[in-house]
Structure 1
Amino acid sequence: MRKILIVGGGYAGFYAAWKLEKKLRRDEAEVTVVDPRPYMTYQPFLPEVVAGSIEARHAAVSLRRHLHRTRIITGMVDAIDHKRRSVTIRRAGGDPFEQGYDVVVVTAGAVTRKFPVPGIAEQAIGLKHVEEAVAIRDRLLTSFDRAAVLPPGPHRQKLLTATFVGGGFSGVEGFAELLSLATALLKRYPELHRDELRFHLVEASGRILPEVTDSPGRWVVRFLRRRGAQVHLDTQIRSMTGGHVVLSTGEEFDSELIVWTAGNAANPVVEKHTDLPVDERGFVVARPDLRVGTDAEPVPDAWAAGDDAAIEDLTSPIPGTRTVPNAQHAVRQGKLLARNIVATMRSGKPKNYRHHSLGSIATLGIGHGIFQYRRLVIKGPIAWLMHRGYHVLAVPSWERKVRVLVIWLTAGLFGRDILSLASVQHPRDAFVDGGEPAALLNRTSQDRTSPC
């Protein structure tokens, strides 16, 4: 049997493996997926995990539960040597080892783009994985608990200040959902006041949500400001050392929570540790049929899809335009990739990837959203319902659809859960400290200054 190795278990990798299982005969090929996490994160749900509207586990899809005939290796691919048809895999707590293959599928995904800002490594949290969404939510809830027992002053103000860097869909949705949660929390904290909340959204360009046109983007800015947010356009972060944020405009403030969502960058494995062709940004060069290489220089037995692949958008009127890194493309590319691999194995011809956008939709907190398809723009509760309806249908497997729908219905009846489990990040503290008050207070102080 041919050995097919899929590097990455995100959207494209998961759907490619899922479809290969359905299309390949049992004796036709052996499929292996390598990913450091044993699940696929459904990223459109992360803002609602931040807001407590969705249980964290329901925003993830277990690879082992749904890929019954695929070998799952939980580890990080350190290097891809296609000339030798081999990858180097590093397991947590184990020595690196090599894994051979006949066909490689590169769906490693992109990583959060970072800049050399002082304090970023110590203070910022990303919003690309379930763990990060949970940490953001717990950090806010814990800050409310601490602020409620403090007198008004700089320390209390810092605890009630949150900063998001990046005005793309991930940043705006996460920011709006967290603001919605914070506003709702005030009913449970009579010691705190609405005017003490400080929510800052920092965007380096002159607009947010580049996926929509100018007018809807400006409407979202006005909407956020009406809800008390401070939106800083044409502004960059100069420093965040110790939680003290310094903006390029000269404004300074202390922020307990800093979330970094400033775009995507190439996966280091793809950019630096492979002999496959990459473009100037570090993404794998792939043809429209998802085979790696170009028409003039194809690379045999290598495929790529998703956020780490540079694929021409054949639906764009501008030649050379690449497909944007989003879930719509990754899911559909993963499915097509599986069909094309099976077709080539059976002497068929692969098809080119073409997908016309279904529009852009964003949630802005419970009951609020925005949707745009070409010139059609829908705002408010209808857009919010469309967002929920689309994503509950899009999340893979009926098991996950039902779980998410039940959580939404439960939250509609009883409200969202506001319990913080920040202590789960240090599960042995209570056991080690033995309940000593001084030790516990010291741990709490350390948690406040350490990144989640």
Structure 2
Amino acid sequence: MPKILIVGGGYAGFYTAWKLEKWLHKGEADVTVVDPLPYMTYQPFLPEVAAGSIEPRHAVVSLRRHLTKTNVVTAKVTKIDHASKTATITPEIGDEWTMEYDQIVVTAGAVSRTFPIPGVADEAIGLKTIEEAEAIRDKVLTNFQKAANLPAGPERDRLLTTVVVGGGFAGIEIFAELRSFATDLLKNYPNLTIDDTHFHLVEAMGRIMPEVTLETSKWVLKNLAERQAIVHLDTQLQSAVGGKVELSTGESFESDLIIWTAGVMANPVVRNTDFPLEQRGRITVQPDLRVINEDGTVVPDAWACGDVAATPDLTGAGVGGFCVPNAQHAVRMGKQLAKNITAVLRGENTKDYRHDNLGAVAGLGLGIGVFQSGKFALKGFPAWAAHRGYHGMAMPSYERKIRVISGWANNFFLGRDIASLDNVTRPRAAFEEFASRPKPAAPAAPVEAPAAPAPEIGAPAGEPGPAYANPADGEKAAAPASAAETKAATTKAPAKKAPAKKAAPVGE
């Protein structure tokens, strides 16, 4: 069977494998997906995960559970040599190995794109993974708990100040959702008020959310201002060293939570391939998602789509003539790619990818949203309902849909769960604190030199005893007497006293 290797299990990779399972006949191909994570993350739900509206595990899709006919390998692809049709697979533990393939699909996705701004790499957190969203949620909850025990002052302000960098859809959604989350939390902290919380969004451009009309973006700004959330337009972040945020306008403030959403870039793994790349580091493809060279010739048996590929937008609406890197395109590209691979295996013709944008929808907190399709716009509650309806149905598999929708229903009646699991980053902390440890070994007692025994009774004064010699005189020291000999010497009967000599006559 021909071997198909899919590099990446995100939107595009997951849907490519999922639809290949549906459309390929048994024995028609052997499909393998390689990704360092065992799940696909539904990224439009990350802002709601961070705001406690969706349980983190419900926003991911297990690859092994839902790709039942696909070989799932949890590892990284660190090199692709398409000339020899081999890929280097590097697991987290163990030795790397080489995998051969007949067809390859590169859907490695994107990562956060940052700039060399002092402090960002050390202090900020992104919003591309479920782990980041969960960490943001726990950070907000933990900071509220800490701040509630402090008097008003700089330290409390730092804990209750949230900064988001980037005013695109992802930035606005996480900013607005966290503002809603923080406002909702205040009812559980009577000693804190909304004036104690501070929310700042920093955007370098003169507007937010370029996917919607200017009028709609202005409505969003007004809505955020009414909720005491400040948006800094035409402003750049200059430093975040030690959590001190310094802006190009001269403003500065301390923050314990800085979220970076200012752009993405293609996964750097594509640099370790022999595929042609365009100036932004993406693999060049033609409309049917085949990889092409600079001269437009097709690279045989190679495909790419999603955020890692520069895919022409046949509608003409894409920035620079290419499809924008979002979930709406990645999902549909994966489906079309699976159809094209199936067609090639059966000797049929491929079809170009084309998708007319249905519009943009964003959630801005509980009960607030915005929807834009052409010149038509919805705002407020109707748009929020449309946002949940669309993404609830777009979540792959009924098992995931039920978990997400039932979670929304639970929160409607029971409210958001506000228990922080911040200590999950150190799960052994409590055990280590109280665990018994072996006592350190006692130091060895110093060896004392044996004391010199008293000279034998009857020995002339000033002469050494028979057991020792004086090494200082150049003689070899005799071995000390044994314990028995010593005891015998100490219990020896005293010598008889010698009779006194008679005095000599005077003059002799």
CA distance in 2 between partners of 1:317 and 1:417 (Å): 41
Identity over aligned pairs, percent: 59
Amino acid at match of 2:266: A
Counterpart position of 2:285: 286
Maintained 8 Å contact 1:52/1:416? yes
Amino acid at match of 2:284: V
Counterpart position of 1:146: 146
1:121: how far off?
1.7
CA displacement, residues 266-313 of structure 1 (integer Å, 9 cap, x when unaligned)? 21111x211101101000100000000057311000001111110111
Counterpart position of 1:379: 379
Unaligned runs of 5+ residues in structure 2 are 437-508
CA distance in 2 between partners of 1:6 and 1:291 (Å): 14
TM-score (norm 2): 0.84
Tell me the SS of whatever aligns to 1:116.
coil
Counterpart position of 1:335: 335
Structure 1 runs (4+) deviating above 3 angstroms are 317-320
Counterpart position of 1:321: 321
Maintained 8 Å contact 1:3/1:31? yes
Amino acid at match of 2:5: L
CA distance in 2 between partners of 1:90 and 1:433 (Å): 36
Greater helix share, structure number: 1
Counterpart position of 1:232: 232
TM-score (norm 1): 0.94
CA distance in 2 between partners of 1:36 and 1:120 (Å): 25
1:218 aligns with 2:210: no
What are the residue-to-residue correspondences of 1:186-197 with 2, within 5 Å? Answer: 186-197=186-197
Amino acid at match of 1:20: L
Equivalenced residue count is: 435
CA distance in 1 between partners of 2:265 and 2:318 (Å): 23
CA distance in 1 between partners of 2:15 and 2:394 (Å): 12
Amino acid at match of 1:152: A
1:318: how far off?
8.1
Amino acid at match of 1:14: F
Unaligned runs of 5+ residues in structure 1 are 437-452
1:94: how far off?
2.5
1:36: how far off?
0.9
CA distance in 2 between partners of 1:66 and 1:162 (Å): 37
1:354: how far off?
0.8
What are the residue-to-residue correspondences of 1:252-267 with 2, within 5 Å? Answer: 252-267=252-267
Tell me the SS of whatever aligns to 1:162.
strand
1:435: how far off?
8.4
Rate the CA distance shift 1:186–1:435 in 2: closer, same or farther, 3 A: farther
CA distance in 2 between partners of 1:147 and 1:409 (Å): 31
Counterpart position of 1:450: none
Rate the CA distance shift 1:90–1:318 in 2: closer, same or farther, 3 A: closer
CA distance in 2 between partners of 1:175 and 1:320 (Å): 28
From the CA coordinates, give the structure whose radius of gyration is larger. 2
1:10: how far off?
0.5
What are the residue-to-residue correspondences of 1:97-176 with 2, within 5 Å? Answer: 97-176=97-176
Amino acid at match of 1:65: R
> Bigger shift: 208-217 or 33-42?
208-217
Counterpart position of 2:184: 184
Maintained 8 Å contact 1:10/1:41? yes
CA distance in 2 between partners of 1:207 and 1:225 (Å): 14
Counterpart position of 1:74: 74
CA distance in 2 between partners of 1:288 and 1:31 (Å): 23
Maintained 8 Å contact 2:318/2:324? no
CA distance in 2 between partners of 1:227 and 1:96 (Å): 52
Counterpart position of 2:62: 62
CA displacement, residues 367-401 of structure 1 (integer Å, 9 cap, x when unaligned)? 00000000101000000000000011100000111
CA distance in 1 between partners of 2:248 and 2:159 (Å): 23
Maintained 8 Å contact 1:312/1:320? no
CA distance in 1 between partners of 2:299 and 2:280 (Å): 19
Rate the CA distance shift 1:330–1:427 in 2: closer, same or farther, 3 A: same
Counterpart position of 2:354: 354
Counterpart position of 1:268: 268
Say what the alpha-carbon RMSD is for the aligned residues: 1.3
